[in-house]
Amino acid sequence: MIFGLYFYFELVALITAIVLIKKLFLSTYGLFIPFLAVIVTYELCSYYNVFKHNNVWAVNIVTCVEFLFYSLFISNQLISNKYKQIFNWLIGAGLLYSIVNVLIESIWRLNTGPILVQALIIIFIVSRYFLELMETPLTTPMRLVKQPGFWLNVGVLFFFAGDFLYFASFTELAYKKNHDFLMLSRLISNITNAVLYSCLTVCFLCTQWTKE
Amino acid sequence: MHSMDERIISIVIAGTVILLTLIIFIIGFLFLYQKRHNSYYSQQEQLKSQFQQELLKTQVEMQEQTLNHISREIHDNITQVLSFVKLNLAIPAKATPEQAEQKISESRNLVAQVINDLRDLSKSLSYEHIIQLGLVQTMEIEADRINKSGIIKIDLAVGGDARNLGEQRELVLFRIFQEALNNALKHSGAKHLKINLDYFDHLFNLTIQDNGVGFPAGKLNNSGSGLRNIVNRAALIGADAVIDSAPGKGCCIKITIDPLTQYTHANGNHDSTG
């Protein structure tokens, strides 16, 4: 068994973040270093079977951590305080739903319902971010390619929107051990993770050009 | 059952592809928007620099006009009067004390006149004066000066509460007035110039009307830089310029501006009073 392709993208993102540690810690992007360290550790633990035969409880926790981290990070980048407040409430509600779902269902089963709700919340936040980008005052030029926030949001949008239908059909197919579905899940995971972590790598590189 | 699973997988694949395509489309749209935004931004920057250049040109032209006026005044008036004073003070030895006193008294009056002229000259119109005195007062001084010269008669009327329209706007408006005055003096042969400054709540009108020879309406497009400058400069401060003329009916230049509109390039200031 070899590591999933996406693991290498995660590793590249983490290494880039560590290389640019000084610059990253001048901004909130510094928070990505411990976050990526947790993600890479989780992948390594999965690979070395630390979670024994069922790592679903860890997936439930990691998806929650990912949701909290990305949603709060992007929400804090928004200019509109009104939307920040609305999204903070939505994030809280999403987290509460995840906890309640774990208590009602089981931590040993993948909580797809909360994962889908989390993805929807994040897609809303990213959409608002893009809308704010389009509201850039006409007195300042737009430099999307050089904006770390833009790359972060592109990656996050690809990741959560790409995984959405896969998670929606997870309960239906995963437990039947459908081979085609497993292949599909591997393909989608590889693509969405590769896009997310490539975008994160570019995002870290972009912090070199920006003053935050 | 197996075909049902296959159908779900197909839906997941198709749906995911559609979602990802949609995201690519959104990002593409953002880049397209960025391109338009930046093109508009660079156009604005270009206009801004063009405005600054035009403003600088206006200031230089005003300074040139002021220097010409000063030079003319020194040559035609002050030098002449002082030469006369010099001749007057060359009192011959044979002159009686009464004659000498009369000459000295005449010379004193002439020197007093020169002092007055020099004082007027020191109030010569430069763009700093517009900033200090405001548009109305500066135009009044200029009109007064021209009236004194007797070349043309200027009637200046101010309607409404005069207020500051912003340094750059007032500077450009004054330059338009000078240009119109220049045209009237050089080309129209006008003897009378009527100037109205009307301050309304949301509108300012500057009307300059002469009783000169006028010109056919079609000539405006082929005219020299004077009238074209008026139209271009008015546009720079967000004003509309209408030039109306017909042969034998003089010329009327009307500048209309909304002082509440903050024109992108002019530092409009409608809070302070003029």
Encode pLDDT of A140-174 as tens digits. 888 888 889 999 999 999 899 888 887 877 776 76
Q: What angle do CA B6, A155, A22 make, to 5 degrees?
A: 145
SS3 state at B197: strand
Q: Do A176 and B5 touch (CB under 8 A)?
A: yes
Residue with tokens 């007057």, as numbered in its chain: B88
Residue with tokens 């830089």, as numbered in its chain: B225
Phi, psi at residue B154, to the nearest 5°? -115, 130
Choose among A144, A158, A168: nearest Cβ to B20: A158
Q: Do A141 and B19 touch (CB under 8 A)?
A: no
User: Which H, E and C letters describe B67-114, residue by residue?
Assistant: HHHHHHHHHHHHHHHHHHHHHHHCCCCCCCHHHHHHHHHHHHHHHHHH
Which residues on B lie below 8 Å from A161 (Cβ)?
A: 19-20, 22-23
Shortest CA distance from A154: residue in chain B: B27
- The backbone region for B193, taken as left when phi is positive above 0, alpha when psi lies in -120 to 50, beta otherwise, is beta
SS3 state at A137: coil
Candidate from B44-48, B256-260, B263-267 with smallest mean pLDDT:
B263-267
| pLDDT for position B227 | 80
Rounded distance between C-alpha atoms, residue A37 and residue B130, angstroms = 66
Mean pLDDT (chain B) is 81
- Rounded mean pLDDT, B128-145: 83
Q: Do A169 and B8 touch (CB under 8 A)?
A: yes
Which residues on B lie below 8 Å from A134 (Cβ)?
A: 30, 33
Q: Are B143 and B156 in contact (CB under 8 A)?
A: yes
B204-210/B240-245 β-pairing: unpaired
Rounded distance between C-alpha atoms, residue B119 and residue B106, angstroms = 20
Q: Which amino acid type is present at position B192?
A: H
Q: Do B16 and A165 touch (CB under 8 A)?
A: yes
Q: Is A58 on the interface with B (CB under 8 A)?
A: no
Return the closest-CA partner of residue A114 out of A154, A158, A167, A166. A167
| pLDDT for position B268 | 42
Q: Do A164 and B12 touch (CB under 8 A)?
A: no
- Rounded mean pLDDT, A16-41: 91
Percent of chain B with pLDDT over 70: 89
